[in-house]
Amino acid sequence: MRVLIVGAAGSVGRQLVPHLAERGHEVICFDLQRPVGEPYERYHRASTTQPGISTTI
């Protein structure tokens, strides 16, 4: 399953991303800052209020 995590660098996102990735899900991370300590393959640095953001994902 493909999963988009908005706020991947936050406290919940930092726990959720590895949990989903270990179970074989394709995780897409979305945040203003890069998450620390994990190898995120699909990371997008952007704000959800940015115009046209849905086309970058």
Query: What's the pLDDT score for residue 54?
Result: 65
Q: 53 CB contacts (<8 Å, ≥6 apart)?
A: 46, 47
Query: What's the pLDDT score for residue 56?
Result: 60
Q: Which one is predicted more confidently, 37 or 28?
A: 28
- Banded model confidence at residue 49, pLDDT cuts 50, 70, 90: confident
Give the tokens for residue 32: 């203003």
Residue 45 has pLDDT above 80, yes or no: no
Residue 25 has pLDDT above 80, yes or no: yes
- Banded model confidence at residue 53, pLDDT cuts 50, 70, 90: low
Distance CA 53, CA 49 (A): 8
